[in-house]
Amino acid sequence: MSLSNTDNPVFQLARSANPAMFLVGLSGGIASGKSTVVSILREMGCAVIDADVLARQVVQRGTPAYNQIVYHFGEEVLLQNGELDREKLGSIIFSDPEKRGLLNSITHPPIRRGMLRETLWYFFLGYRYVILDIPLLFESRNTTRYMKHTVLVYCDPQTQVERLIRRSGLSRDDTMKRLASQLPLDSKLPLADHVINNSGDRDSTRRQVLQLYARLETSLSYLPVRVAAVTLTTGLLALMWTLFRRFWH
Ligand X SMILES: Nc1ncnc2c1ncn2[C@@H]1O[C@H](COP(=O)(O)OP(=O)(O)OP(=O)(O)O)[C@@H](O)[C@H]1O
Ligand Y SMILES: CC(C)(COP(=O)(O)OP(=O)(O)OC[C@H]1O[C@@H](n2cnc3c(N)ncnc32)[C@H](O)[C@@H]1O)[C@@H](O)C(=O)NCCC(=O)NCCS
Interacting residue ranges for ligand X, rule: CB under 6 A: 28, 30-36, 52, 135, 163, 167, 198, 201-202, 205
- Give the whole-angstrom CA distance, residue 50 versus residue 55: 9
Judged by beta carbon distances under 5 to 8 A according to partner kind, the member of ligand X, ligand Y, none in contact with residue 111 is ligand Y
Binding mask 8-47 for ligand Y (x = CB under 6 A): ----------------------x-----------------
Q: How far is the CB of 28 from ligand X (least distance, A)?
A: 5
Phi-psi region at 121: left, alpha or beta (left = phi > 0; alpha = psi -120 to 50): alpha
Q: What are phi and psi of 134, to 5 degrees?
A: -125, 110
Judged by beta carbon distances under 5 to 8 A according to partner kind, the member of ligand X, ligand Y, none in contact with residue 55 is ligand Y
Smaller CB separation from ligand X, 21 or 46: 46
Amino acid at 108: H
Q: Which residues pair with 27 in a beta bridge?
A: 152
- Give the whole-angstrom CA distance, residue 1 versus residue 105: 10
Helix, coil or strand: residue 25: strand
Applying CB under 6 A, does 48 fall inside the site for ligand Y? no
- Give the whole-angstrom CA distance, residue 33 versus residue 139: 18
Smaller CB separation from ligand X, 51 or 147: 51
Residues of this chain that interact with ligand Y (CB under 6 A) are: 1, 30, 51-52, 55, 86, 89-90, 93, 100, 103-104, 107, 111, 135-136, 181-182
